[in-house]
Amino acid sequence: MDAIMLQEKLVERLLCPRVRTARQKEKQYVGFATLPNQVHRKSVKKGFDFTLMVAGESGMGKSTLVNSLFLTDLYKDRKLLNAEERINQTVEIIKHTVDIEEKGVKLKLTIVDTPGFGDAVNNNECWKPITDYIDQQFEQYFRDESGLNRKNIQDNRVHCCLYFIPPFGHGLRPVDVEFMKALHEKVNIIPLIAKADCLTPNEIKKLKDRIREEIDKFGIKVYQFPECDSDEDEEFKQLDKELKECTPFAVIGSNTVVEARGQRVRGRLYPWGIVEVENQSHCDFVKLRNMLIRSHMHDLKDVTCDVHYENYRAQCIQEMTSKLAQDNRMESPIPILPLSTPDVETEKLIKLKDEELKRMQEMLNKMQQQMHDKEQ
Amino acid sequence: MREETAGELETDSLSPMEDGEEKERGIMGLQDDSKCQPGQAALMDSQNSIPETGENGVVVGTEMEEKGMEEGDLKKEMGMEMELEVEAEVKVELCQSGHGLQVSFIRGTDLFGYVGIEAVLDQMRRKTMKAGLEFNIMVVGQSGLGKSTLVNTLFKSKVSRKSCTSNYEEKISKTVKLHSVSHVIEEKGVRMKLTVIDTPGFGDQINNENCWEPIVKHVNEQYEKYLREELHINRKRKIPDSRVHCCIYFLPPTGHRLRQIDVEFMKRLGKIVSIVPVIAKADTLTIEERQEFKERIRQDLAANGIRVYPQKEYDEDPEDSILNDRIRESIPFAVVGTDKEHQVNGHKVLGRKTKWGIIEVENVEHCEFANLRDLLIRSHLQDLKDVTHNIHYETYRVRRLNESNVSFSELGLAPWPLENGTDDRGQSESHL
Q: Which region among A5-9, A201-205, A296-300, B12-16 has the lowest average model confidence (pLDDT)? A: B12-16
Chain A touched by B66 (CB under 8 Å): no
Q: Is A229 exposed, middle or buried (0-12, 13-18, 19+ CB in 10 A)?
A: exposed
Kindly report, residue by residue over A118-173, the tens digit of the pLDDT. Answer: 888 888 888 888 999 998 888 888 888 888 877 777 788 889 999 999 988 788 88
- Model pLDDT for residues A101-125, shown as the tens digit of each residue: 877 788 888 888 888 888 888 888 8
Interface check B258 vs A, CB under 8 A: yes
- The verdict on a CB contact (< 8 Å) between B252 and A269 is no
- What's residue B30's pLDDT? 35
Hey, are the CB atoms on B356 and A276 less than 8 Å from each other? yes
Predicted structure pTM score = 0.70
Per-residue pLDDT at B129: 80
pLDDT tens across A273-300, in order? 888 888 888 888 888 888 888 778 888 8
- Percent with pLDDT over 90 in chain A: 5
Q: Under a CB-based contact definition with an 8 Å cutoff, are residues A186 and A308 in contact?
A: yes
Mutant choice from A75, A82, A121 vs B, greatest count of B C-beta within 10 A: A121
Q: Which residue has the higher pLDDT, A266 or B45?
A: A266
Angle, helices A128-146/A174-183, rounded to nearest 10 degrees = 10
Residue scoring higher pLDDT (B170 or A52): A52
Residues 172-201 of B with CB under 8 A from A: 172
Interface ipTM > 0.85? no
Note whether B302 contacts A: Cβ–Cβ < 8 A. no
Q: Which residues of A touch B260 (CB under 8 A)?
A: 83, 86-87, 119-121
Q: Do A282 and B355 touch (CB under 8 A)?
A: yes
Q: Is the dihedral of CA B36, B42, B43, B45 positive or negative?
A: positive
The helix (run of H) or strand (run of E) holding residue B348 is strand B347-354
Task: Give the full edge-to-edge strand order of the sheet including A94-102.
Answer: A94-102, A105-113, A48-55, A160-165, A189-193, A249-250
Residues of A in contact with B254 (CB under 8 A): 57-60
Distance from CA of A10 to the nearest CA of B (A): 53
Query: pLDDT confidence of A193, banded at 50, 70, 90?
Result: very high
In terms of C-beta density within 10 A (0-12 exposed, 13-18 middle, 19 or more buried), how is residue B346 classed? Answer: exposed
Inter-chain CB proximity B357 and A273 less than 8 Å: yes
Q: Which residues of A touch B204 (CB under 8 A)?
A: 173-174
State how far residue B145 is from chain A, nearest Cα, in angstroms: 6
pLDDT value, residue A84: 56
Strand partners, A263: A260
B207 DSSP assignment: B
- Work out the burial of residue A19: count CB atoms within 10 Å of its CB; fewer than 13 is exposed, 13-18 middle, 19 or more buried: middle
How many interface pairs between A and B have CB atoms less than 8 angstroms apart?
123
Judge: A198–B360 Cβ closer than 8 Å, yes or no.
Answer: no
Residue numbers in chain B where pLDDT is lower than 70: 1-112, 161-173, 406-432
Encode burial over A245-270: b for 16+ CB neighbours within 10 A, e otherwise.
eebbbbbbbbbeebebeeeebbbbeb
CB contact under 8 A, B260 and A81: no
Number of H helices, E strands in chain A: 14, 9
Q: Which chain A residue shows the shortest CA-CA distance from B303?
A: A84
Amino acid identity at B262: D
For residue B327, the model assigns a pLDDT of 85
Cα(B371)–Cα(B366) distance, integer angstroms:
12
Predicted local distance difference test score (pLDDT) of residue B379: 84
| Cross-chain Cβ contact A201/B258 below 8 Å | no
More confident residue, A13 or A154: A154
CATH code for residues A40-73+83-114+128-227+234-325:
3.40.50.300
